[in-house]
Structure 1
Amino acid sequence: MHPYRSHHCGALRASDVGSEVRLAGWVHRKRDHGGILFIDLRDHYGLTQILCEPEFGQFAEVDAVRAESCIQIDGVVVARAEDQVNNDLATGEIEVRITDFKVLSAAGDLPLPVFQEPDYPEDIRMKHRYLDLRRETMHKNIVLRSDVVKALRRGMEDAGFTEYQTPILTASSPEGARDFLVPSRLHPGKFFALPQAPQIFKQLIMVSGFDRYFQIAPCFRDEDARADRSAGEFYQLDIEMSFVEQHEVWDTTGPVVENAFNLFAGDRKVDAYADWPKIPYADSMLKYGSDKPDLRIPLEMQVVTEHFVDSGFKIFAQIAADPEKQIRAIPAPQGGSRAFCDRMNSWAQKAGLPGMGYIMFDDGDGKGPLAKNIGPERTHAIRDQLGLQAGDAAFFLAGKVEEFEKIAGAARVEVAKQLHEQGKTMHDGSPLFEEDRFAFCWIVDFPMYEWDEERKKVDFGHNPFSMPQGELAALEKAETAEQILALKANQYDLVCNGYEFASGAIRNHKPEIMYKAFEKAGYGADVVEKEFGGMLNAFKFGAPPHGGIAYGVDRIVMLLADQENIREVTMFPLTQNAEDLLLGAPSEPSDEQLKDVHIRVVKPIVEAKGE
């Protein structure tokens, strides 16, 4: 017999009854039933129940063993009594009567429990991540992550892509976040950067003639953590293709992702790739208040400014008269109760707004202060525009769009979820919030440029390497700031359930367009040549038209695992404060290490607090 085990803890079945076996694993749970001990023995593969009777010679040792100790047992497989079969457990028809026992490694007092998985503070979980990862949910999440990566890799290979590895030590590149810098020992005063993404390299791979590239790529960005974003590093399915337009990038890679979701979605509905809508950025912001719309919610905002022009509601009338401002309405089917409207008004105040206007509709005139001030004719016009009925409501947000749009988007989601919890539906009986669905959409036609209010100038809005729609001719025609800001890029995001988890573009592969695109953002040819000389020079020697996309592996797994925090699907993540509490990183280097890389640390001056 093998020195440690003949079977793993998820292998034994009723057909093994009578077999002599050896198992090894961790003590998941121990129970005393009238002097008979039961141990749930756990390993990577599952659980097996171990039966230890008082007659067993090592009974006292088994009784003394602590939870999470690593043990080995020999025993005989026996069938459970019919009323004791556990149908929720793969090995639930049998148990193993112990004949020999050995502690391979004893566990001390646990800093956090593994059994039953109660909530525990992040600092304890991260400091003892090896215990945290023993929990059933965490273990399943990490295995799911591996399976998803395997499915994505297989899908890309089946689609004719080849995996290539790009450098980790590279040059600093403006990708929208801070770089992690690595000092060079051989070149005093100079630094490598860890790649924020393999962007430039994958484009150079296309210039080099490799046609279809992919990589499960590590990316490094010195940015703050969020629930859906790791601090420091993450992985993406990085893709680039030659001689393609954007629909070919979608049609080639989208089904790979759809298949991965179908493999691991369980009973949840996955929207078919053919049904993924393509929503222009401007429409998404208007209807959903976000470029990451959650399409599980069918509610759409509408502009209702015209109904308040010269109305009796003075505040909104003033806003309606200002061409730089707007009034939008959020429909609320079956939300026409004072209690619900007051609750949403309180929600808006907590979100930072003075409040949120509302109208409740019934068979006659609208109800509420706003309806009373604008009169029945305008109230009916709003109801008809929004397609509302008796018993419904509408909520209103107004002002400069950039100041209220984000909160309006959040309010749309809050309205739908609260009404859904109350059992309310759309008029046709369809749900206001489809919890068990993965709803995808492409966001397209992103602005090429945006206005930088702080620096009072035009700058790139998304990715400086994207091809502008209309190419060189469009750039040359755009002269004023307004015309430049109206330019669209061949850029696209893929969104699922309110999360953006893929972003891509058709690339700018022509030097003359690259110079002109940067010129419109106020960057001279000297800047382009200094910052992007390697790629620019490559484009002068026959670059193919190319485009690509990158899918966030962490977010895909987070969605499939039904988690709200990306750290729940990452094996060894940094904390919210970007620290590794397990190994103590970041740490202070020794003087010798600093000397090797020609660096002197100057710590920030802490100003003394006034008395």
Structure 2
Amino acid sequence: MSEQLGGWKRTGMCEDFSSRDIGKKVTLMGWVDSRRNLGGLIFVWLRDRSGIIQLVFDENDQTGDFSGAESLRAEFVIAVKGEVVARTPENVNPDLHTGEIEVKVEELKILSKAETPPFEIEENSNVREELRLKYRYLDLRRPDMQKNFILRNRIAMTVRKYLDENGFMEIETPMLQKSTPEGARDYLVPSRIHKGAFYALPQSPQIFKQLLMVSGFDRYYQLAKCFRDEDLRADRQPEFTQIDMELSFVEVEDIIAINEGLIQRVFHDVMGIDIKTPLRRIPWQEAMERYGSDKPDTRFGMELMDISDIAKGCSFKVFSGAVENGGSVRCINAKKAGLSRKEIDALGEFVKTYGAKGLAWMNFKEEGMASPIAKFLTEEEIAAITERTGAQTGDLLLFVADRNKVVFDSLGALRLHLAHKLGLIDENRFDLLWVTEFPQFEYSEEEGRYVAMHHPFTAPMDEDIEYLETQPEKVRAKAYDIVLNGNEIGGGSIRIHNAELQERMFRALGFSKEEAWNRFGFMMEAFKYGTPPHGGLAYGLDRLVMLLGKCQSIRDVIAFPKVQNASDLMSEAPSQVDEKQLEELGIGLLPQQ
């Protein structure tokens, strides 16, 4: 039978105590991690958020509760009173913070009994993720999971402190707002009062934070909950948290400077790592040409090389045809790769998932160069490719020929795939950089029009404004992303701050004036009343914690995450609702096909 606390007050957490507390009377509370019965002695590991400490129940000690200890099982919640004593020398554990001490228990209260859990509460569990998520409240008891959330809390507190010191105000923006679909799908919330009308959950606080600049708040920030109804990947969730900020009277350099200071503070205070600033900057075009990615991992080499000038006149039609059609031929050099033909063929299948039609290759073996395309190339062309790529014995050249987007996507992904396969990445290194000068637009094959690469409120570079309506592919944006180890952790831009230019931007995106005002009229109306130049940036807090905590999945740093199909295995959300609720909302459901 469980007992209430009965006036007991916890003296401290398990790992608050060490050898300096020997002789001290303490009261501890937590979960039974494990129990060992050695006849006249029972040893119990007590666990709480801070760590573990060993309890000792002695049958010969008349003050102790030995019989109560015999009933303890894993995950029982208990409270104990006792004395901190030194362990015998042979039982000292130097790997534990509490390894020199134990608590000799004098009183025991069983606060709550527990059934046998569906999996052991232990670090680095191999239990399948579906079971862990079904019993997430148990999964979160595991020490490695609790470390993730301690890290998350420290990062959030460090961010808040730094931004407060630099004149930012934390202001909350609405969760229920107007649907302005441009990008990912909105999560819609029906209105009971306004039947047939819907709110949208925010994909970001973008419009409202810009309106706060119109309102004169100068420097805003928020740890903002955001929602996107999109297909999930390992580092995506339908709901996530942004470290969101916006600043007035600034240019790109000002925003980069304040954020380099923020990153420097987070790494120093949370990780104990000193980051040197200013961080490197790579223009978007250079990042794509060197790494095939706008979020390049530069912890290793294997950069892309362009051989289009060599390939354009060759008799291998895959190469020459790609160049003639405005594409390119590029390759990477997997030095000393030592891959078999079977492994090379598998790489060919890998790049097909990124749109490539296939993968050409040259393998420089001891006995000579082997390649299925060699017969289509002259000796001079092979020599030129060898010189351009610096290929040596043991190296493997891998080529993709196609439209530039396909070439960059496939070789960029292949570069990362091979780096992991060949062990080229120093996993203990944190590599930070900025990617700048993004294109303003990208062409959507699905929609048959240009769409905003970031969002439609991003300001174009002054010298490129003239091309907005006539040559949108030439327009560069005042946008910047911060990248950590090949992952975009934050992105932002200088914003458009006058209604006329914002109208031109919407027109370039294919919106009529009427459509633009219908969706964003309240924002452009605000721009008529004195709007300061402004810009901002938002970090993905979940992704940042995942990377700093070296977690494999973003789900490990979100307390109650969704799985791949956007459902919650623990609460079984989403779920059906009562017919009465639907009637109140004026909603009827279509029959399922």
Deviation, structure 1 residue 364: 9.8
Q: CA deviation at 1:340?
A: 5.0
CA shift in 2, pair 1:286/1:497, >3 Å: same
1:458 maps onto 2:450 in alignment = yes
Correspondence for 1:400: 403
For residue 526 of structure 1, report the CA deviation from its aligned partner: 1.1
Contact 1:475–1:517 (8 Å) recurs in 2: no
Opposite residue 285 of structure 2, the aligned amino acid is: A
CA contact (8 A) 1:366 1:376 kept: no
Q: CA deviation at 1:514?
A: 1.1
Give the superposition deviation at 1:203: 0.5
CA distance in 2 between counterparts of 1:188 and 1:312 reads 66
3-state SS of paired residue (1:23): strand
Q: CA separation in 1, counterparts of 2:340 and 2:265?
A: 40
Partner of 1:237, secondary structure, is strand
2:266 pairs with one of 257, 260, 264 = 260
Q: CA deviation at 1:362?
A: 6.8
User: Does the 8 A contact of 1:258 with 1:270 survive in 2?
Assistant: yes
1:348 is aligned with what amino acid? G
Q: Which whole-Å deviations, capped at 9, do the CAs of 1:270-328 have from their partners, x for residues lacking one?
A: 65231x222222222222122121111222101112222343545434434x2323211
Find out whether 1:434 has 2:426 as its counterpart: yes
User: Aligned in 2, Cα 1:151/1:415: closer, same or farther, shift over 3 Å?
Assistant: same
Query: C-alpha deviations, 1:44-65, integer Å up to 9, x for none?
Result: 2221101123335643431221
CA, structure 1 residues 270+395, in 2 after alignment: closer, same or farther (shift >3 Å)? farther
Kindly, what percent of the aligned residue pairs are identical?
Answer: 39
Corresponding residue number in structure 1 for 2:162: 155
* Corresponding position of 1:429: none
For 1:199 and 1:184, how far apart are their aligned partners in 2?
23
Label 1:342 to 1:441 Cα distance change in 2 as closer, same or farther (>3 A).
Answer: farther
Answer yes or no: is the 8 Å Cα contact 2:268–2:275 preserved in 1: no
Alignment of 1:105-504 (within 5 A): 105-231=112-238, 233-265=239-271, 271-274=275-278, 276-320=279-323, 322-335=324-337, 337=338, 339-340=339-340, 342-352=342-352, 355-361=358-364, 366-371=369-374, 373-420=376-423, 432-470=424-462, 474-480=464-470, 483-504=471-492
Distance 1:160 1:584 in 2: 43
Please give the per-residue CA displacement for 1:475-531, whole angstroms capped at 9, x wherever unaligned. Answer: 444554xx2222111122111112112111110111111111111222121112111
Q: Does the aligned pair in 1 maintain the 2:15–2:51 contact within 8 Å?
A: yes
1:423 corresponds in structure 2 to none
Q: Please list the CA deviations of residues 108-156 of structure 1 after superposition, one character each: whole Å capped at 9, or x if unmatched.
A: 1212220344222333222221111100011110111011000111111
In 2: Cα distance, 1:261 partner to 1:383 partner: 42
1:37 equivalenced with 2:37 (yes/no)? no
Matched, 1:605 2:570: no
Structure 2 residue aligned with 1:580, among 544, 568, 587? 568
State the Cα distance separating 1:433 from its structure 2 match: 2.1
Change (3 A) 1:595 1:174: same
Deviations 1:370-404 (CA, angstroms, capped at 9, x unpaired): 44542443233223222344433321111223334
3-state DSSP class of the match of 1:437? coil
* Aligned equivalents of 2:591, 2:412: Cα separation in 1: 39
Alignment of 1:550-569 (within 5 A): 550-569=538-557
Question: What CA distance in whole angstroms lies between the structure 2 residues aligned with 1:564 and 1:116?
Answer: 15
What is the identity, as a one-letter code, of the residue corresponding to 1:324?
A: G
User: Whole-Å Cα distance in 1 between the matches of residues 357 and 251 of structure 2?
Assistant: 46
Amino acid at match of 1:298: G
Aligned counterpart, 2:3: none
Contact between 1:4 and 1:24, CA under 8 Å: does it hold in 2?
no
Contact 1:365 1:379 in 2 (8 A): no
TM-score (norm 2): 0.92
Q: Quick one: structure 1 residues 404 and 536, their matched pair in 2 at CA, closer, same or farther if it must change by over 3 Å? A: same
3-state SS of 1:587 partner: coil
Q: In the superposition, relative to structure 1, how do residues 572 and 222 fare at CA in structure 2: closer, same or farther (>3 Å)?
A: same
Give the aligned partner of residue 46 of structure 1. 51
| Alignment pair present for 1:7 and 2:17 | no
Matches of 2:450 and 2:314, distance apart in 1 = 37
Q: Secondary structure at the match of 1:540?
A: helix
- Residue 329 of structure 2 contacts residue 407 of structure 2 at CA under 8 Å; is this kept in 1? no
Deviation at 1:107, TM superposition (A): 0.5
1:589 counterpart = 2:591 = no
Distance 2:38 2:122 in 1: 19
Aligned residues: 583
- One-letter code aligned to 2:23: G
- Counterpart code for 1:8: M
Kept in 2, the 8 Å contact 1:495–1:501? The answer is yes
1:406-432 CA distance string (max 9 Å, x none): 221111112233333xxxxxxxxxxx4
Q: Which runs of 5+ in 2 are unaligned?
A: 1-5
* Structure 1, 78-87 or 306-315: larger mean CA deviation: 306-315
C-alpha displacement at 1:594, in angstroms? Answer: 2.6
What amino acid does structure 1 have at the position aligned with 2:231? D
1: CA distance between counterparts of 2:534 and 2:451?
Answer: 23
Query: Partner residue of 1:424?
Result: none
Structure 1: runs of 5 or more not aligned: 421-431, 607-611
Q: Tell me, yes or no, if the aligned pair for 2:307 and 2:331 is still in contact at 8 Å.
A: yes
Contact 1:365 1:380 in 2 (8 A): no
Aligned amino acid, residue 335 of structure 2: P
The root-mean-square deviation of aligned C-alpha atoms, in Å, is 2.4
Hey, what's the Cα distance between the residues in 2 that align with 1:588 and 1:186?
Answer: 21
Q: What CA distance in whole angstroms lies between the structure 2 residues aligned with 1:513 and 1:31? A: 73
2:351, 2:414 within 8 Å by CA — same for their partners in 1? no
* 8 A Cα contact 1:271 1:438, kept in partner: no
- Find the aligned partners of 1:239 and 1:604 in 2 and give their Cα distance: 44
Q: 1:49 to 1:139 in 2, by over 3 A?
A: same
Is the partner of 2:14 in helix, strand or coil?
coil
Contact 1:9–1:46 under 8 Å retained in 2: yes
Q: How has the CA–CA distance of structure 1 residues 60 and 355 changed in structure 2, closer, same or farther, with 3 Å as cutoff?
A: farther
- Counterpart of 2:508, as a letter, is K
Corresponding residue SS for 2:56:
strand
* Change beyond 3 A, Cα 1:478–1:557: closer
User: Distance in 1 between the 2:465 and 2:159 partners?
Assistant: 37
Question: What is the match of residue 544 of structure 1?
Answer: 532
TM-superposed CA distance for 1:176, in Å, is: 1.5
Distance 1:415 1:285 in 2: 18
Task: Tell whether the 8 Å contact from 1:270 to 1:438 is kept in structure 2 after alignment.
Answer: no
Equivalent-residue separation in structure 2 for 1:20 and 1:167 (angstroms) = 50
Change in 2 beyond 3 A, CA 1:600/1:378:
same
